[in-house]
Structure 1
Amino acid sequence: MSETTTTPAVNDALGDVKVRSLLVPLSGMLLVLPNTAVAEVAEFKSPQPIADAPAWLLGMMLWRGRSIPLLAIEPLLGGSAGAGGVHARAVVCNTLNSNPVMPFIAVLAQGIPRLQELKPDMVETVEGGEGEELAVIAGRLRVAGREGVIPNLDVLERLLLQLGVRVG
């Protein structure tokens, strides 16, 4: 079970810092991405499946003439991937390493993401998580009463590369 703790030291260190973030609805939680990590919020289209892919790798989707991997975060956290419904979107993220083989990854959103400026007094850190989950999650927090996770894009990129996935 996760435990919520306020982090005065973090809030004091941040002072009046505001981080423009994209709040991405997942099944039962939010994915929190810094605005600078997001290339585009695209229309969801069923991806081309990849044989023997793990549950979190939904397949490859076409975006701007390129084939990029589409991920579901929920299976990485022990849940199941939601279905791409009417409001589903694909959030295309820039990877952080400038790797030409994996410059972008997309994450399935279960609804329409919204841009929000997060201030320290709006966010509480949440302790918890275990095992492999710790690697793919950079942090847990609570925003406006909803639990959220910040993905570790470096780890997600490495997992994809280990599976032999490449942007085409």
Structure 2
Amino acid sequence: MNDTSHILPCVMIPMSERQLLLPNVSVAEIVDCNHIETRDDAPAWLLGDLDWRGQRLPVISYDAANGGEARMPAGNRGRIAVLNTIGKNHSSLPFLAVVTQGIPSQTRLASDQVQTVDDEAGPADLMMVTVEGEHVSIPNLEYLEQLALEAARTH
């Protein structure tokens, strides 16, 4: 019998420069990118708001939150990843949304498939790793939650 206790179901989410790696349980839903309501005078990292299941969620550009350029996805490949929050403000902000630059994919990873690397991390990165030779970011969800809380307070 194979030991699968050290296998973690994950989602790889494409961004402009690299992909994000999150456990499946972090992702509530992947939705189309068509319904973002923009805001006037919003910070560069805030693309707008998404009405999702009766809730208004701030849509964050991970690239801009990390010091890069905010980009809406080209063509019809972009999606919005609705993420479960994990921080102390979970009751007031149970979800946040991040725009993707492609269609997320599922994978199953063992701990020996993920290696920490010393790439320069931005404020939205918790850790930089390689997965089967590809450089990916593990996002700092607490930082993204703080941005989402800021966006919720200004709306």
**TM bucket normalised to smaller:** 0.7 to 0.9
- Which among 102, 116, 127 is matched to residue 111 of structure 1? 102
SS of the residue corresponding to residue 83 of structure 1 reads coil
1:148 corresponding residue in structure 2: 136
Output the amino acid matched with 1:91. A
Are the counterparts in 2 of residues 25 and 109 from structure 1 also a CA contact under 8 Å? Answer: yes
2:8 corresponding residue in structure 1: 19
SS of the residue corresponding to residue 55 of structure 1 reads coil
**Unmatched runs of 5 consecutive residues or more in structure 2:** none
2:66 corresponds to 1:45: no
Output the amino acid matched with 2:96. I
2:152 corresponding residue in structure 1: 165
**Unmatched runs of 5 consecutive residues or more in structure 1:** 1-15
In the superposition, the TM-score normalised over structure 1's length comes to 0.78
Residue 53 of structure 1: CA displacement? 1.9
CA offsets 1:7-32 (integer angstroms, 9 cap, x no match): xxxxxxxxx72221100011120011
1:4 corresponding residue in structure 2: none
- Which among 116, 122, 146 is matched to residue 125 of structure 1? 116
* Residues 123 and 45 (structure 1), Cα distance of their counterparts in 2 relative to 1, 3 Å cut: same
Question: What is the percentage of aligned positions where both structures have the same residue?
Answer: 36
Using the alignment, how far apart are the partners of 1:78 and 1:143 within structure 2?
23
Output the amino acid matched with 1:65. G
Are the counterparts in 1 of residues 58 and 151 from structure 2 also a CA contact under 8 Å? Answer: no
Residue 112 of structure 1: CA displacement? 0.9
1:31 corresponding residue in structure 2: 20
Kindly report the root-mean-square deviation, in angstroms, between the aligned alpha carbons of the 2 structures.
Answer: 2.0
Using the alignment, how far apart are the partners of 2:37 and 2:91 within structure 1?
21
Are the counterparts in 2 of residues 55 and 75 from structure 1 also a CA contact under 8 Å? Answer: yes
CA offsets 1:117-152 (integer angstroms, 9 cap, x no match): 11123222121325xx24x22111112332211111
